[in-house]
């Protein structure tokens, strides 16, 4: 017995994911998977899957395959983004007024890169970063 899927079988969960994403979905921090790009990729996947599936009178299956392929590709991109974000280190640079400035250093292979593209062999110390990223004293500003 062959079971035929209707388009609503794929559209209902897709709509649920879309509204979950619009409501905030997962935490949007840099190190958390974000649902929004995945759902945004699923919509064109559903449309393309429906078009292709409609040609073979398999609308529901086409939508399901389209959503799956496009969503998995977007999920893969999100996983890569999260892995890259895990390579970031924040160095807190002291300022003359007692406050601190955050400086994000990114690890690349066997070296580190600062926000302005400068290279370091190891994670730079706050003292190394103070001249470039710390607040200047009033006399130094003029």
Is 91:124 a contact under the CB 8 Å cutoff? Answer: yes
142 confidence band (pLDDT: 50, 70, 90): very low
Is 56:4 a contact under the CB 8 Å cutoff? Answer: no
d(CA 37, CA 140): 45
**Mind spelling out the 3-state secondary structure of 66-110?**
HHHHHHHHHHHHHHHHHHHHCCEEEEEEECCCCCEEEEEEEEECC
pTM over 0.95: no
> Would you state the pLDDT for residue 3?
56
* Domain range annotation of the chain: 7-85, 88-136
Higher pLDDT, 125 or 30: 125
> 26-58: per-residue pLDDT in tens?
544 555 777 788 778 887 887 888 788 877 777
> 70-90: per-residue pLDDT in tens?
888 888 888 888 777 778 889
């Amino acid at each position: 017995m062959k079971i035929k899927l209707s388009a609503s079988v794929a559209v209902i969960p897709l709509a649920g994911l879309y509204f979950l994403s619009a409501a905030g979905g997962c935490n949007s921090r840099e190190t958390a998977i974000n649902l929004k790009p995945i759902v945004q990729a699923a919509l064109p996947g559903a449309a393309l899957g429906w078009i292709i599936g409609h040609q073979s009178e398999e609308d529901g299956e086409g939508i399901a395959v389209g959503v799956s392929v496009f969503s998995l590709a977007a999920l893969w991109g999100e996983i890569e983004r999260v892995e890259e974000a895990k390579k970031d280190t924040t160095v807190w640079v002291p300022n003359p007024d007692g406050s601190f400035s955050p400086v994000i250093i990114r690890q690349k292979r066997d070296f580190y890169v600062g926000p302005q593209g400068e290279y370091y062999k190891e994670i730079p110390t706050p003292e190394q970063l103070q001249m470039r990223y710390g607040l200047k004293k009033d006399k130094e500003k003029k």
